[in-house]
């Protein structure tokens, strides 16, 4: 890596991190304003700031592509206005060389975002949700008014409350026979995860149902073997788009084994795979708008251009995603269409600049 390439990489990283810091601050200010509506009781300013700190890694991960776009537009635009790009090209650095340096900066940003998005953000996001719930003196009401419903072979499981990652409360299990008739109904006040797919259920009431009779019984404790593990229950307190690839892959596998729809989670899975590509596409898209635009364009104009491009891409991405869910389209295809479309636009613009 020569001196000019290192200079461009360093400046783009600097500009991207400044843009990231500003966007993160702005986003947290809006979140802080929303959280103030729930202020009261045990949920005070200390808890709100703690909540914001814990949700920041996930926001960081989501803002990396937009920050890369804004940072590169600002830095390359400043270099163009100061005639630095002309000097670099006169020194032998081609348009391709400038773009290559921008992509190297993008690779560094992508590595950082993947590390945070896969290993830090999912953990802190779950902690943030638990902090918020605990401070408001509420137990986690799962998924909907009637709790979280899961299916495991011929059993339908309803979980009303999640006390913590390894502790469930108010659990009902309904088992059907081969003729799709209700065979057994069971309710437990509490279930504690023991490991190795085993739960210890407490205060159990059971009803065995047949055509001839119904037999009711009660037990203090009972061992329950199930493929449902605490990592699957993370879904109820965290948006699937905020989960790691490993968590999503595990939950998708669970849903498919139990013949349930997994389209939403597959789309989130492929969205996380595509996210690094989005950063590269945003950086590549910024190059022709700087190299091909005349000098003297103000910083404000470049920032506005970046905001329009970023917002346009996000709107297009969301529209395609919703259409994919509505019409049950192929998740990998839906995930890649927005990025590949913008990539084609960027390559076309670069060809015009070179000509």
Q: Which tens digits make up the pLDDT trace of 119-145?
A: 999 889 888 877 887 776 555 545 455
Look at residue 231 and tell me if it is in a domain: no
pLDDT the model gives residue 173: 95
Domain boundary among 203, 226, 249: 226
List own/partner pairs for 38-45 with CB under 8 A and 24 or more apart: 38/136, 41/135, 41/136, 41/137, 42/134, 42/135, 42/136, 42/137, 43/132, 43/135, 43/136, 44/135
Look at residue 132 and tell me if it is in a domain: yes
Q: If you average pLDDT over residues 35-61, what whole number do you get?
A: 90
**Mean pLDDT over all residues of the chain?**
86
Beta strands in 36-176 (DSSP E): 140-141, 148-152, 155-164, 167-176
Q: Which tens digits make up the pLDDT trace of 289-308?
A: 776 555 556 666 767 877 78
How many distinct structural domains can be found in the chain? 2
The two tokens of residue 72 are 């590169």
DSSP class of 294: P
pLDDT the model gives residue 17: 96
The two tokens of residue 150 are 């899961």
Q: Which residue has the higher pLDDT, 255 or 63?
A: 63
User: Which of 98-102, 119-123, 237-241 bottoms out in mean pLDDT, i.e. has the lowest?
Assistant: 237-241
Give the domain range for residue 193: 154-226
Q: If you average pLDDT over residues 333-354, what whole number do you get?
A: 86
Look at residue 146 and tell me if it is in a domain: no
pLDDT the model gives residue 354: 65
Q: What band does 279 get if pLDDT is binned at 50, 70 and 90?
A: very high
Whether residue 197 has pLDDT greater than 60: yes
pLDDT the model gives residue 223: 93
pLDDT the model gives residue 136: 67
Q: What band does 153 get if pLDDT is binned at 50, 70 and 90?
A: confident
The answer on 119 and 29 residing in a single domain is yes
Q: What band does 238 get if pLDDT is binned at 50, 70 and 90?
A: low
The answer on 333 and 290 residing in a single domain is yes
Q: How far apart are CA 276 and CA 287, in angstroms?
A: 18
The answer on 285 and 210 residing in a single domain is no
Q: Is the pTM of this model over 0.85?
A: no
The answer on 294 and 179 residing in a single domain is no
User: Which of 73-87, 98-112, 225-239, 265-279 bottoms out in mean pLDDT, i.e. has the lowest?
Assistant: 225-239
Q: Which tens digits make up the pLDDT trace of 71-97?
A: 998 898 888 888 888 888 888 888 889
Q: Which residue carries 């057994």 as its tokens?
A: 184
The answer on 212 and 121 residing in a single domain is no
Q: How far apart are CA 173 and CA 181, in angstroms?
A: 14
Q: If you average pLDDT over residues 8-16, what whole number do you get?
A: 95
The answer on 194 and 75 residing in a single domain is no
pLDDT the model gives residue 137: 54
Domain boundary among 226, 248, 277: 226
């Amino acid at each position: 890596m020569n001196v000019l390439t290192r200079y461009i990489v360093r400046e783009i990283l600097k500009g991207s991190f400044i843009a990231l810091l500003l966007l993160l601050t702005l986003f947290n200010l809006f979140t802080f304003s929303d959280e103030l509506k729930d202020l009261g009781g045990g949920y005070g300013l200390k808890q709100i700031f703690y909540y914001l700190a814990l949700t920041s890694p996930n926001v960081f991960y989501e803002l990396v592509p937009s920050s890369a776009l804004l940072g590169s537009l600002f830095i390359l635009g400043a270099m163009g206005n100061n005639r630095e790009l002309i000097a670099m090209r006169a020194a032998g650095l081609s348009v391709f060389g400038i773009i290559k340096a921008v992509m190297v900066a993008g690779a560094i940003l992508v590595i950082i975002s993947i590390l945070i998005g896969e290993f830090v953000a999912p953990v802190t996001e779950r902690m943030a949700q638990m902090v918020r719930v605990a401070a408001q003196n509420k137990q986690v009401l799962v998924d909907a008014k009637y709790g979280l419903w899961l299916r495991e072979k011929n059993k339908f499981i309803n979980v009303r409350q999640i006390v913590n990652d390894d502790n469930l409360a108010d659990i009902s299990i309904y088992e059907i026979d081969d003729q799709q008739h209700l065979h057994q109904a069971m309710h437990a006040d509490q279930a504690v995860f023991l490991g190795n797919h085993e739960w210890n259920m407490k205060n159990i009431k059971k009803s065995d149902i047949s055509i001839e009779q119904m037999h009711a019984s009660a037990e203090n404790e009972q061992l329950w073997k199930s493929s449902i593990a605490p990592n699957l229950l993370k879904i109820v307190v965290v948006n699937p788009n905020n989960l790691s690839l490993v968590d999503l892959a595990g939950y998708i596998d669970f849903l498919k084994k139990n013949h349930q729809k997994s389209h939403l989670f597959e789309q989130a899975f492929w969205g996380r795979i595509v996210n690094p590509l989005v950063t590269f596409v945003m950086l590549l898209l910024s190059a022709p708008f700087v190299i091909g635009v005349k000098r003297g364009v103000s910083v404000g104009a470049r920032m506005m251009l970046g905001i329009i491009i970023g917002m346009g891409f996000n709107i297009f991405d969301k529209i395609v995603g919703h259409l994919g869910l509505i019409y049950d389209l192929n998740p990998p295809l839906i995930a890649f269409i927005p990025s590949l479309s913008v990539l084609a636009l960027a390559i076309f613009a670069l060809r015009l600049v070179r000509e």
